Structure 1
Amino acid sequence: MKKIFASLLIAGCAQWAWADGLKSLEDFMKTARSGSASFTQTVTAPPRDGQAARSKTSSGQFDFQRPGRFRFVYQKPFEQTIVADGRTLWLYDADLNQVTQRAQEQALGSTPAALVASAPDLAALRGDFTLESAPDEGGLQWVLATPKASGSQLRSVRVGLDGARLAVLDIEDSFGQHSVIRFADMQLNPQLPTGTFSFKVPAGADVLRQ
């Protein structure tokens, strides 16, 4: 009887220890109506033909305003800008001088961006994802988000939070590619410049509509 009680107690303690992840995500979504941070992204492709997996690292600036607006500006090693203005998702490749334009509602759904900026609250997020608290790791609280939609290109996202601040997005897609985005100097609810989430097609750029 004592062993059974001890096992239940340990299991209960483990659940409490993991409960902070969802609470931190809920706090982030409640308190962070906007945000700004620098980021570093490392993308690792799965190994092929016996070769070791290869990683590529990029960095830049990230801003968001909930619900539905965000901006990723990749500065190194290649210039690329992704903007969601609330209606349209824009992707600009500076090297190709090419813009891809998509309807935002169709493009974002079950994506990492929904976790950060698109969903207005945790209840809305649960419409697209199954959310589970995960064990604390590296001084962060974690949530495992799994898309509900069948055929999603996204397999899972682990969200790492430092209290009510977003710290890491650990993303795995259906092709086995692994992407980790680490945010630094996250400022919550800053006064963002007018036009942060506006996009103007650069002169001479080709526009692809999807």
Structure 2
Amino acid sequence: MKTSIRFIRVAVVMAMAAGASASWAGGMDSLEQFVKTARTGKAGFTQVVTSPAKEGQTARSKTQSGTFEFQRPGKFRFHYTKPFEQTIVADGQTLWLYDVDLKQVTARPQEQILGSTPAAIVAAAPNVKSLEKDFTLSEEPDKDGQQWVKATPKTRDGQLQSVLVGFRQGPKGSELGTLEILDSFGQRSVLTFTAFEMNAEVPASAFQFKPPQGVDVLRN
């Protein structure tokens, strides 16, 4: 169950950066344009999760990859293909996590997951000003050919410590390049996106989920 919740948390945080601006500007300008114009999108991604080093040991990391699709407001899908297959779907009301190897589905109401998390950018936020009610936003120095925004939750009772969102210049202007997620346990997740398509045609079926026959369904 702890693993399932961690995957859900990462997925929700990833959803905050599911778009980009129509012009190459500063990080805050890119974020402003994103919440105004990003309606759908899809990309491939690689995720490297690094846990804090224990005494006398080196830090451990694991790599996963898959595809990501979204549709505002509040619908997204992550399909992890390597090294283990998992699917996370938000259909607007329920957040589903399907672990193929465990033959287990976890279902939770979206309102319990989204709340005042960065996923609010996908779910409802019309502009940066509305985001500043829940987050401290700051423009970070350019690095790796990208422009960055840092989002820090104002409420410190959650597991999310901060998120760095990197934008790079693509064929249609700024697009999502990298997400760096730091949680309160010191675990860092770095997601690198490839072949990002802004306002792409995404079928409604991508955000529909029906538990397969024979799997355990856990509802929280």
| TM superposition score category, shorter chain reference | 0.7 to 0.9
SS of residue in 2 equivalent to 1:23:
helix
The question of 1:184 aligning with 2:194 is answered: yes
Cα deviation, residue 112, structure 1: 4.5
Where does 1:21-170 land on structure 2 (aligned, <5 Å)? Answer: 21-115=27-121, 117-121=122-126, 122-162=128-168, 163-170=173-180
**Percent of residue pairs bearing the same amino acid type:** 60
Cα deviation, residue 55, structure 1: 0.7
Residues of 1 paired with 2:130 and 2:92: CA distance?
Answer: 16
Of residues 71-80 and 20-29 in structure 1, the stretch that sits farther from structure 2 once superposed is 20-29
1:12-50 deviation line (CA, Å, top 9, x unaligned): xxxxxxx81110111122222110000000000000122
Q: Is the 8 A contact 1:31 1:164 kept in 2?
A: no
Q: Which has the larger radius of gyration?
A: 1
Residues of 2 paired with 1:72 and 1:114: CA distance?
Answer: 17
Q: Is the 8 A contact 1:58 1:77 kept in 2?
A: yes
RMSD in angstroms over aligned alpha carbons?
1.5
User: For residue 82 of structure 1, what is the amino acid of its counterpart?
Assistant: I
Match of 2:182 in 1: 172
Residue ranges of structure 1 left out of the alignment (5+ in a row): 1-18
Residues of 1 paired with 2:190 and 2:120: CA distance?
Answer: 16
Match of 2:8 in 1: none
Q: Is the 8 A contact 1:28 1:166 kept in 2?
A: no
Residues of 1 paired with 2:217 and 2:194: CA distance?
Answer: 32
Cα deviation, residue 123, structure 1: 3.3
Cα deviation, residue 118, structure 1: 2.5
Residues of 2 paired with 1:202 and 1:140: CA distance?
Answer: 41
User: For residue 178 of structure 1, what is the amino acid of its counterpart?
Assistant: R
Runs of 4+ in 1 over 4 A off after TM superposition: none
User: For residue 64 of structure 1, what is the amino acid of its counterpart?
Assistant: F
TM-score (normalizing by structure 2): 0.82
Q: How many residues of Structure 1 are paired with residues of Structure 2 in the alignment?
A: 191
Cα deviation, residue 111, structure 1: 3.6
